[in-house]
Amino acid sequence: MIILLTGFEEGAAEDLEFMDTAAHEFGHDVLMASGGLVWSWGHEGTSTILGNDVAGQPTYPPSPEPINLMWYHAGTQPADYYDR
């Protein structure tokens, strides 16, 4: 069980967004160590190292497939984003 001390109820949207962002930012360190600057800052090839969109940016996969937290996705975030 995860105990969050943010003042919000467990599972609140703010907590979920914080955990998602924390996992994404930690992923940059992992990608930097394993793939280098371009792979890390380029979000595994889904953006430029400056964070700009690239041609062929992936869309969110259909449910129930997992979502890669490091990718920049095209389209609207699915309603079940945090459930995956």
Domain coverage including residue 37 = 13-83
* pLDDT tens column, 21-63: 999 999 999 999 999 999 999 999 999 999 898 999 999 999 9
Q: Which residues pair with 47 in a beta bridge?
A: 53
- pLDDT of 72 strictly over 90: yes
Predicted local distance difference test score (pLDDT) of residue 14: 81
In a domain, 20, yes or no: yes
In a domain, 62, yes or no: yes
In a domain, 50, yes or no: yes
CA distance linking residue 6 with residue 31, whole number of Å:
29
Q: How many CB atoms lie within 10 A of CB 11?
A: 10
- pLDDT of 4 strictly over 60: no
In a domain, 39, yes or no: yes
Give the pTM.
0.80
Predicted local distance difference test score (pLDDT) of residue 31: 95
Vertex 15, ends 5 and 66: CA angle to 5°?
A: 135
- Looking at the 3D structure of the chain, how many domains does it have? 1
In a domain, 5, yes or no: no
Of 47, 48, 70, 75, the residue nearest 59 (C-alpha): 75
Rounded average pLDDT over 3-8: 57
In a domain, 1, yes or no: no
